[in-house]
Amino acid sequence: MNPTSRHRLGVLAVVAFTGPIAAAALLACSSTDPTASHPQTSAAVATAPTGLRWQSFQGMDLPVTDQGPQNADGAAVGGFERSPAGAALAAVHASVRMSIAPDGTWAAVGQQMLAPGPGRDAWATARAQISITAPITDGAPKLLGYRVTRYSPEASDIEVYSHHPDNSATRHDTHVLWQREDWRLHLPENPTTSSVTAVTSPPTDMVAFTPR
């Protein structure tokens, strides 16, 4: 995978932290949490969201459905249904918005869309050291769909699949928690592996988003 593709992976994973000497690091999302249990049936987790439409944020198209988001506060959104589809939509929006929210709005995204803890604090410290002022103008990834690999009303693991301009595809592993009456993305304090993996193609049981 070429360097351009790796940069685009950061958009769907988490914010890429690039300093004056171009040193970059990625904060990955964890799928380990003791509250994640009691998975639902295959039919429940494979039920696609309804009322899909697309909304641009900072140059990237994001899905908006009947399952969420239902409300917006600037760059931050919320109001995701307590269901597998709602968890998946929350994972998508939180991952992208925390990565590309411009200066002046990223703190609100962190406070409202990320689960509190050392991982969120580490992300905020790193994000404060960079500046994002303009939207993506070329080469934004396209979201293909998702797969819920584990679900309970308290926690969910979501694989998010995307397509890149060089025709590569990736899987982004995310973990969300139900807190304060909404789904919030959980970031670990010390990630040991990248949450983004190159794949040859999305799985056949992926819940696909309708093409733009």
- How confident is the model over 4-25, as a mean pLDDT? 34
Going by their DSSP bridges, the two strands 71-73 and 76-78 should be labelled as antiparallel
Picking from 25-34, 124-133, 155-164, which range would have the lowest pLDDT averaged per residue? 25-34
Number of domains observed in the structure of the chain: 1
Q: Which domain holds residue 160?
A: 3-30+47-208
**Residue 21 above 50 pLDDT?**
no
In a domain, 65, yes or no: yes
In a domain, 89, yes or no: yes
How much is the pTM?
0.83
In a domain, 119, yes or no: yes
Share of the chain above pLDDT 70, in %: 80
In a domain, 25, yes or no: yes
pLDDT in tens, 71-129: 999 999 999 999 999 999 999 999 999 999 999 999 999 999 999 999 999 999 999 99
Rg (CA), the chain: 16
**Residue 193 above 50 pLDDT?**
yes
In a domain, 42, yes or no: no
Which DSSP category does 211 fall into? P
In a domain, 38, yes or no: no
At 41 the pLDDT is 61
* Bridge partners (DSSP) listed for residue 78: 71
CA distances from 15 to 26, 75, 101 (A): 7, 15, 9
At 40 the pLDDT is 56
In a domain, 37, yes or no: no
167: its two tokens: 């025709």
Going by their DSSP bridges, the two strands 169-179 and 155-163 should be labelled as antiparallel
At 30 the pLDDT is 33
In a domain, 136, yes or no: yes
